[in-house]
């Protein structure tokens, strides 16, 4: 059952979705059930999620690093829409007696506006100018950019959250699941554990499937990781 403290936020979710318009998805998470945390969502076509969807990879990381204890919200980090479009995401941490009980998330899809700007520039400038002068990285060098934080991925099931997390690790390491050594497998599981993937009930089964190993092996690796830590 949803935390009664979050009931007013359900109507707020609906209101913000209508007030901000269809380019803004508003999602309300109740941390009572991490596997089915979304209890209200507006303009869900942006991420493709529905009520009952689980916490995201970024939300799980917040629970692990406890960054919510040092700040009340997080602004302007990167997410991906259901169609793969980059989103600008913001999260407000809902606390009760300093305990994190929920998250109110806003995901803005600005692709329509970017397309309009691109079309306008094509009217004003030849393509060669756009490719050369306005291409990313063109022109005088500016101050170095901070490293990109983890992109938030949106999914409707635990299996998809876990599978996507494993796939990102494999891609980053340049590895294939069916050819992993025990050392590579334990490194991936250690990273997933630090990022909070195993806070989701049933994630062990999905991680094992994605890594082409048994659930018993995952549990054994986790026990080894905790012992070493």
- Kind and range of the H or E run holding 53: none
Tokens of 10: 């359900």
- Residues 135 and 179 reside in one and the same domain: no
Q: Which of 156, 181, 197 is the last residue of a domain?
A: 156
Q: Return the pLDDT at 141.
A: 43
Same domain? 81 vs 70 = yes
Model pLDDT for residues 55-77, shown as the tens digit of each residue: 999 999 999 999 999 999 999 99
Question: Residue 83: its pLDDT value, please?
Answer: 82
Task: Select from 229, 206, 201 the least CA-distant residue to 218.
Answer: 206
d(CA 117, CA 48): 26
CA 193 to the chain's CA centroid: 16
User: What is the predicted pLDDT for the residue at 146?
Assistant: 37
DSSP character at residue 109: -
Closest by alpha carbon to 61, among 146, 168, 143? 168
The last residue of a domain, from among 100, 122, 156: 156
Per-residue pLDDT at 190: 97
Q: Considering its fold, how many domains does the chain have in total?
A: 2
pLDDT value for 127: 61
CATH number assigned to the domain comprising residue 43? 3.30.450.20
Whether residues 218 and 191 share a domain: the answer is yes
> 18 and 67 share a domain?
yes
**Is the domain of 178 the same as that of 69?**
no
Predicted pLDDT of residue 150: 80
In tens digits, the chain (229 residues) has pLDDT values of: 679 999 999 999 999 999 999 999 999 999 999 999 999 999 999 999 999 999 999 999 999 999 999 999 999 999 988 788 899 999 999 999 999 999 999 999 988 776 666 666 666 666 655 465 555 444 444 443 334 468 899 999 999 999 999 999 999 999 999 999 999 999 999 999 999 999 999 999 999 999 999 999 999 999 999 998 8
Assess whether 141 and 126 both reside in one domain. yes
**Spatial contact of 155 and 50, defined as CB atoms under 8 Å apart:** no
Task: Identify the helix (H) or strand (E) that includes residue 86.
Answer: strand 86-96
* Domain coverage including residue 102: 1-156
Residues 6 or more apart from 23 whose CB is under 8 A from it?
Answer: 43, 46, 108, 109, 110, 112
Instruction: Report how far residue 123's alpha carbon sits from residue 138's, in angstroms, rounded to the nearest whole number.
Output: 20
The CA-CA-CA angle for residues 76, 70, 23, to 5°, reads: 20
Question: In angstroms, rounded to a whole number, what is the distance separating the alpha carbons of residues 173 and 184?
Answer: 9
Q: Are residues 201 and 113 in the same domain?
A: no
Provide CB contacts within 8 A for 36, sequence distance 6+.
52, 53, 54
* pLDDT (0 to 100) of residue 132: 57
Q: Which two tokens stand for residue 113?
A: 């506006």
Q: What angle do CA 15, 16, 20 make, to 5 degrees?
A: 125
Q: Which of 102, 130, 156 is the last residue of a domain?
A: 156
């Amino acid at each position: 059952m949803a935390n009664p403290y979050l009931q007013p936020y359900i109507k707020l979710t609906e209101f913000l979705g209508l007030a901000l318009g269809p380019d803004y998805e508003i999602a309300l998470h109740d941390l009572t059930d991490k596997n089915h945390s979304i209890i209200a969502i507006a303009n869900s076509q942006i991420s493709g999620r529905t009520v009952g969807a689980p916490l995201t990879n970024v939300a799980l990381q917040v629970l692990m690093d406890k960054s919510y204890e040092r700040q009340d919200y997080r602004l302007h980090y990167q997410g991906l829409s259901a169609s793969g479009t980059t989103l600008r995401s913001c999260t407000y941490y809902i606390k009760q007696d300093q305990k994190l009980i929920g998250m109110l998330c806003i995901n803005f899809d600005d692709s329509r506006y970017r397309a309009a700007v691109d079309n306008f520039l094509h009217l004003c400038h030849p393509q060669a100018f756009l490719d050369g002068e306005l291409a990313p990285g063109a022109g005088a060098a500016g101050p170095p950019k901070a490293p990109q934080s983890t992109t938030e991925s949106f999914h409707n099931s635990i299996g998809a959250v876990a599978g996507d997390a494993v796939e990102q690790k494999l891609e980053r390491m340049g590895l294939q699941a069916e050819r992993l050594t025990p050392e590579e497998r334990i490194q991936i599981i250690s990273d997933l554990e630090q990022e909070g993937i195993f806070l989701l009930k049933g994630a062990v089964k999905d991680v094992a499937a994605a890594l082409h190993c048994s659930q018993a092996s995952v549990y054994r690796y986790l026990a080894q990781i905790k012992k070493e830590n």
